[in-house]
Amino acid sequence: MTKNIRKTISIFATSIMGISMANADPIKEIDFNPYGQINLGYMHGDTGLGSEGYIVNNNNSSSRVGANLSGDLESHNITVGAHVELGYVQNPSSAVSPENKNISGEFKDRHLNVFLEGAAGRFSLGQGNGAANGNIEADLSGTNVVSFANLPLVGGGLPFVNKESMEEVTLKSSVSNQDFESRYSRLRYDAPSLGPVDLSVSQGTKSNSDVTEFGGRVSFPLAGQVVARLGYSTKDVGEASGDVETIGGSISWLHTSGFNLTGAYSHRTDDNVASPDSAFYWAKVGYRFNEEHAIDAHYAETMDLRLKGDNAETIGAGYVYKPAQWLDIYAGYRQHSLSGVGADYSNVNVAILGSRIKF
């Protein structure tokens, strides 16, 4: 596939630009690696408003297309490249609700950046991951596609319903793993690895707010494998909130037997004395029978995210069958509960069954 694309580009450039590439084909000097995936499922949501079924794009790992390009400048001992990725989401599992079961699909930019890498490290410029993105989500369980730590990505648009007033509170407003600032326009620097340790820093803007992030990752063998991550971010949102600061990390251990444990914590605060600090806790236990089967059970708690005194708890389980490297078939279930000061809400129960195909 890649060779055919390169050949097509070469022929197109020759015919349009009117130049001969017989003796010097610059495209041959560039590694071009396209990729993509489609991830669709059936989601069933049971709330205080009743039960509904949805055909969704699983936002735990949404449908996307992209490409990595790179070339070596041997005379300077550096590699120059680019990364472009577009997500296409129709009926996102994070947004569908009883009032909005069908959401039109659209392309959204995920990555569009260039990089330069050499002995001094890697510099990236453009839209892409912040230095701490994903550092609350270390996970070796093999069930991330269905049991991801970013809980609102499946069912986030469904409501908790106040049993007395019938007030609706969306799940995503009360449940979050607070995984820093995700992707934005930034300059990022990744330092050369210090043994098993990788350190990075990024500075940029997101939604017209200045963002700075620091991240650290480590991986080492321990009767299997351990990965651990730490991160810090600050976002200047202005007005009463001032700087929103997030700190946290995660760790996951996969034993040689297939048994695995995962945990995470995050804490977020700002300058607004009327806005409560919020915290997230995550624990997960799983087992990978072989390269094809993985199961897990997990528990999460989000405290004070929307209002002081709010406490959201999640219990769930997931299963992933991977008969080939390009295919995941999965099923999962979660029960979310919310309690607040003087408020009693109905639970939100979410089940999902689907498949992810990579190409």
What are phi and psi for residue 151, nearest 5 degrees? -60, -40
Q: Which helix (H) or strand (E) holds 3?
A: helix 2-17
- Domains and their CATH numbers in the chain: 36-358 (2.40.160.10)
Q: How far apart are CA 160 and CA 121, in angstroms?
A: 47
**Model confidence pLDDT, tens digit, residues 289-335:** 988 999 999 999 999 999 999 999 999 999 999 999 999 999 999 99
The mean pLDDT value for 99-120 works out to 95
Rounded CA Rg of the chain: 22
User: Above 80 in pLDDT, residue 28?
Assistant: no
Confidence of residue 3 (pLDDT cuts 50, 70, 90): very low
Confidence of residue 287 (pLDDT cuts 50, 70, 90): very high
The mean pLDDT value for 110-138 works out to 98
User: Above 70 in pLDDT, residue 5?
Assistant: no
**Model confidence pLDDT, tens digit, residues 173-216:** 999 999 999 999 999 999 999 999 999 999 999 999 999 999 99
For the chain, give the percent of residues with pLDDT over 70: 92
Tokens of 282: 């995550």
* Residue-wise DSSP of 145-203: TTS-S-GGGTTTTSEEEBTTT--EEEHHHH-----TT-EEEEEEEEPPPBTTEEEEEEE
Q: What is the pTM (predicted TM-score) of this model?
A: 0.89
Q: Apex CA 350: angle with CA 347 and CA 354, to 5°? A: 180
Q: What is the pLDDT of residue 239?
A: 84
Give me the chain's average pLDDT, please. 92
For the chain, give the percent of residues with pLDDT over 90: 86
Q: What is the dihedral of CA 125, 235, 314, 135, to 10 degrees?
A: 40
Burial class (CB in 10 A: 0-12, 13-18, 19+), 177: buried
Tokens of 66: 């992209």
**Model confidence pLDDT, tens digit, residues 240-269:** 788 999 999 999 999 999 999 999 999 999
Beta bridge partners of 284: 262, 298
Question: Distances from the Cα of 149 to the Cαs of 111, 144, 302, in angstroms?
Answer: 22, 8, 12
24 three-state secondary structure? coil
Confidence of residue 235 (pLDDT cuts 50, 70, 90): very high
Confidence of residue 29 (pLDDT cuts 50, 70, 90): confident
Q: What is the pLDDT of residue 178?
A: 98
User: Above 50 in pLDDT, residue 21?
Assistant: no
Confidence of residue 238 (pLDDT cuts 50, 70, 90): confident
